[in-house]
């Protein structure tokens, strides 16, 4: 099994997170997939930004939910990272899916609904994924347990993942009971036991956010289904080293 490398918010160590430059760079590097975050605007348009508030990654202030799409796209979402990216804009999920539709990339949509539980976010996102015919290569993840349940109600065949950074008793069983297909855990929670337990329950385990080669290599050795990294080029090089050693050991 080859561990999938998702570019976390794109190649976000090298370009402003969740923007087209970061996504395009990850694609050029050869990442297997793109992970991105979705919030909902005042006019109910899903947009790609991690925080509920725009102040960290734009020149604006206030909450995403208080802006229309048109207003959001007037903000500069690149200068905070580097003057090279001045004028970079927040993009909608629709724009992102239009870009990725014809590319050989997997998609991870994280619903940012654990702080603000946006009404109908699951269905709005699902309908867009269906419109662009990318459901079979997409996983939808969320920290919101109720959201996982709602997603199963929309489409029981949808690939979904429960996200967590917390130690929860019988985490695999808890996630499976929610209806999740997979479990996306913070790296410090990763161990051989949780991977084996997930596999025995027909679930997969993915890990975030791993940027150091030693951490990445450990994920490969433990048989993680996927990793999320800000440096996809480093992960790709590390996977090549892992595969080369595995091939030598098998000969």
Active site residues: 8, 50
Residue 147 belongs to a domain with what CATH number? 3.20.20.190
Question: Domain range holding 86?
Answer: 4-250
Q: Are strands 46-48 and 33-40 parallel, antiparallel or unpaired?
A: antiparallel
**Per-position DSSP letters for 21-57, written without gaps between them:** HHHHHHHHHT-SEEEEEEEE-TTS-EEE-SSSBSTTT
pTM of the full structure: 0.97
Residue 236 confidence (pLDDT): 98
Residue 187 confidence (pLDDT): 98
pLDDT tens string, the chain, 251 residues long: the values are: 799 999 999 999 999 999 999 999 999 999 999 999 999 999 999 999 999 999 999 999 999 999 999 999 999 999 999 999 999 999 999 999 999 999 999 999 999 999 999 999 999 999 999 999 999 999 999 999 999 999 999 999 999 999 999 999 999 999 999 999 999 999 999 999 999 999 999 999 999 999 999 999 999 999 999 999 999 999 999 999 999 988 888 77
Residue 249 confidence (pLDDT): 82
Instruction: Please choose, from the candidates 161, 109, 162, 163, the residue with its C-alpha nearest in 3D space to the C-alpha of residue 134.
Output: 109
CA gap 29, 49 in Å, rounded: 22
User: What's the gap between Cα 207 and its chain centre?
Assistant: 11
Residue 127 confidence (pLDDT): 98
Residue 248 confidence (pLDDT): 82
CA gap 126, 39 in Å, rounded: 14
User: What's the gap between Cα 203 and its chain centre?
Assistant: 18
Residue 247 confidence (pLDDT): 84
Count other Cβ atoms within 10 Å, centred on residue 140.
Answer: 26
Partners of 159 in the β-ladder: 139
CA gap 12, 100 in Å, rounded: 17
- Total number of domains constituting the chain: 1
3-state helix, strand, coil in the chain (%, to 5): 40, 20, 40
CA gap 189, 61 in Å, rounded: 34
Residue 250 confidence (pLDDT): 77
CA gap 206, 161 in Å, rounded: 9
């Amino acid at each position: 099994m080859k561990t999938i490398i998702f570019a976390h918010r794109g190649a976000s160590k090298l370009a402003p997170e969740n923007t087209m430059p970061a996504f395009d760079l990850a694609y050029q590097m050869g990442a297997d997939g793109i992970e991105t975050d979705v919030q909902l605007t005042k006019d109910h348009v899903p947009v790609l930004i991690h925080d509920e508030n725009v102040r960290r990654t734009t020149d604006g202030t206030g909450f995403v939910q208080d802006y229309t799409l048109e207003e959001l796209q007037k903000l500069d979402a690149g200068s905070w990272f580097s003057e090279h990216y001045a004028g970079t804009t927040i993009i909608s999920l629709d724009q992102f899916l239009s870009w990725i539709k014809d590319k050989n990339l997997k998609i991870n949509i994280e619903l940012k609904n654990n702080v603000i539980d946006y009404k109908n976010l699951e269905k709005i996102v699902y309908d867009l994924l269906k419109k662009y015919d990318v459901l079979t290569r997409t996983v939808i993840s969320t920290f919101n347990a109720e959201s996982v349940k709602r997603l199963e109600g929309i489409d029981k065949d949808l690939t979904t993942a429960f996200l967590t950074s917390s130690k929860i008793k019988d985490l695999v069983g808890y996630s499976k009971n929610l209806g999740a297909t997979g479990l996306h855990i913070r790296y410090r929670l990763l161990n051989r036991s949780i991977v084996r337990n997930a596999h025995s329950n027909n679930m997969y385990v993915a890990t975030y956010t791993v940027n150091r080669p030693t951490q990445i290599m450990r994920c490969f050795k433990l048989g993680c289904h996927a990793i999320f990294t800000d440096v996809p080029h480093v992960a790709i090089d590390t996977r090549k080293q892992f595969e080369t050693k595995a091939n030598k050991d098998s000969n």
